[in-house]
Amino acid sequence: MKKLAIISEFNPFHNGHKYLINKAKEITKTDLAISLMSGDFVQRGEASLIDKYSRADAALDNGFDLVIEMPNFISLQSAEFFSYKSIELLNKLKIDYLAFGIENLDSEEFLDISARLIKDNDRLEELTKYYIDKKYSFTEAKYLALKDFLGREDFISSNNILALEYMISISKINPNIMAIPIRRLGANNQDLDIKDEKYASSTSIRRNLSGNIEKLMPSSSYQKLKSFQKNYGLANKENLFEIFKYKFMIEESQMQDSLCYEEGLDNYFKTLLKDSPTYDEFIELAVSKRNTMARIKRLMLNYILNNKKSLNDLDYNFVKVLAFNEKATKLFRDIKKELKIVIRKSDIEALDHDDLLVYENMLRASNLYSLLIDRQFNTDFTRKISIKKTYEAN
């Protein structure tokens, strides 16, 4: 069984995502398409626009056979760790292909540049460290290092840098995984405005929810978005900020071991919180040359969720299924000796110590999200998993 994987957020699932999965399946002639998808909190350090189950259902409606949840301690990290830990898990699923989007370049040129960068990775790391020592954030330092190394800027975008991290992680974990870079259509990842009649970035769709976005999404995904908006609306970031302030200022829980922490940020936060009545004001004040907005937001969530750096050292061996069809059941049979499959509450009984720590991490995030959208707790135990007999395109 040939297995294709795509690491995703689908926040929301749009036409560009549908193009990516269709094109990847056309290229690979794969037997099974897997999405490793962020849960209710995504890499920008924000609550997702739509809950993980609705997004997983949309993915299953539009070409995927299996959607599994990415633990939030992975999704709430920088591109380097995000990619490495994701591919580490997908390698346990014995994937054959990893497809991902790229910008500004065709696939062959991207692969050629990536091969050069991986071959001389020590030089790239030296350049990155040079800029970090000059007090740039890791993200900015990586951008500047790439610019110096390549002598060009068209490669440098957040999407391409994440794609490069996938390539580096594959080279370290399992070079036999075949990378399938696919150039985006119509819009780049960071585009804020809708410029195309059919394709738009997730960012621009989220910024234009009151506009005419129906044509930019498969019908099933659009209907799930509208239904979720009607029932829950947006996650309440001011409530999130109140939880953060309580834990930080009243409980005085230490922050030093939290993922994304950098020395001195806790003392800096104490100063800012005295004059920051709102979430947005706090974030704006906390951002600096050294610390990006995404890093600050990720740190806040990791701190609230008690996500410690030690989570990166755990060897967990299970996948939490969000949606699947009959084709995926063969995979379950093939991997059951190596990985535990968590679909229902009773499956938790088979988890060992490290597995349980990761599972509890995922459950805490789900319940925090429930608190922010006014949804009942422990939805993970009560929400019915989508199981489809066959794939039917919408």
Over residues 114-154, the pLDDT tens digits come to 999 999 989 999 999 999 999 888 888 988 999 999 998 88
Q: Is there a single domain that holds both residue 141 and residue 225?
A: no
Is 53 labelled as part of a ligand binding site? Answer: no
Decide if 49 is inside a domain.
Answer: yes
Total domains in the chain come to: 3
Q: Is there a single domain that holds both residue 304 and residue 320?
A: no
Q: Is there a single domain that holds both residue 144 and residue 277?
A: no
| Count of helices and strands (H, E) across the chain | 17, 10
CA 345 to chain centre: 24
Is 211 labelled as part of a ligand binding site? Answer: no
Decide if 295 is inside a domain.
Answer: yes
Is 8 labelled as part of a ligand binding site? Answer: yes
Q: Is there a single domain that holds both residue 205 and residue 244?
A: no
Angstrom distance (rounded) from CA 195 to CA 318: 41
The CA angle 120-125-127, to the nearest 5 degrees, is 100
Is 159 labelled as part of a ligand binding site? Answer: yes
Is 208 labelled as part of a ligand binding site? Answer: no
Q: Is there a single domain that holds both residue 347 and residue 305?
A: no
Q: Find residue 47's DSSP bridge partners.
A: 41
Is 12 labelled as part of a ligand binding site? Answer: yes
Any residues with CB less than 8 A from the CB of 277 and at least 6 apart, and which? none
* Terminal Cα-to-Cα distance of the chain (whole angstroms): 25
Decide if 166 is inside a domain.
Answer: no
Is 121 labelled as part of a ligand binding site? Answer: no
What pLDDT does 334 receive? Answer: 93
Number of Cβ within a 10 Å radius of residue 187 = 24
Q: Is there a single domain that holds both residue 148 and residue 275?
A: no
Decide if 336 is inside a domain.
Answer: yes
Decide if 25 is inside a domain.
Answer: yes
Is 264 labelled as part of a ligand binding site? Answer: no
Q: Is there a single domain that holds both residue 276 and residue 131?
A: no
Q: Is there a single domain that holds both residue 367 and residue 379?
A: yes
Is 18 labelled as part of a ligand binding site? Answer: yes
Is 7 labelled as part of a ligand binding site? Answer: yes
Q: In a 3-state reduction of DSSP, which class is residue 363?
A: helix
Q: Is there a single domain that holds both residue 137 and residue 215?
A: no
What pLDDT does 328 receive? Answer: 96
Q: Is there a single domain that holds both residue 246 and residue 376?
A: no
Is 353 labelled as part of a ligand binding site? Answer: no
Q: Which domain holds residue 281?
A: 237-310
Q: Is there a single domain that holds both residue 212 and residue 355?
A: yes
Region of residue 300 (left: phi > 0; alpha: psi -120 to 50; beta: else)? alpha
What pLDDT does 392 receive? Answer: 45
Region of residue 287 (left: phi > 0; alpha: psi -120 to 50; beta: else)? beta
Q: Enter the DSSP assignment of 384.
A: P
Is 10 labelled as part of a ligand binding site? Answer: yes
Using the 3D structure, point to which of 310, 326, 350 is the last residue of a domain. 310
Decide if 171 is inside a domain.
Answer: no
Intervals of the chain under pLDDT 70: 187-192, 390-394
Q: pTM of the entire structure?
A: 0.95
Decide if 371 is inside a domain.
Answer: yes
What pLDDT does 394 receive? Answer: 43
At 44, phi and psi to the nearest 5?
-70, -5
Number of Cβ within a 10 Å radius of residue 101 = 22
What pLDDT does 154 receive? Answer: 86
What pLDDT does 391 receive? Answer: 46
Using the 3D structure, point to which of 253, 276, 310 is the last residue of a domain. 310
Q: Is there a single domain that holds both residue 23 and residue 97?
A: yes
Q: Angle 138-150/158-173 helices, nearest 10 degrees?
A: 90
Angstrom distance (rounded) from CA 369 to CA 235: 7
What pLDDT does 191 receive? Answer: 61
Q: Nearest-CA neighbor of 159 among 233, 79, 213?
A: 79
Decide if 72 is inside a domain.
Answer: yes
Question: Would you say 48 and 365 are in contact if contact means Cβ atoms under 8 Å apart?
Answer: no
Using the 3D structure, point to which of 257, 276, 310 is the last residue of a domain. 310
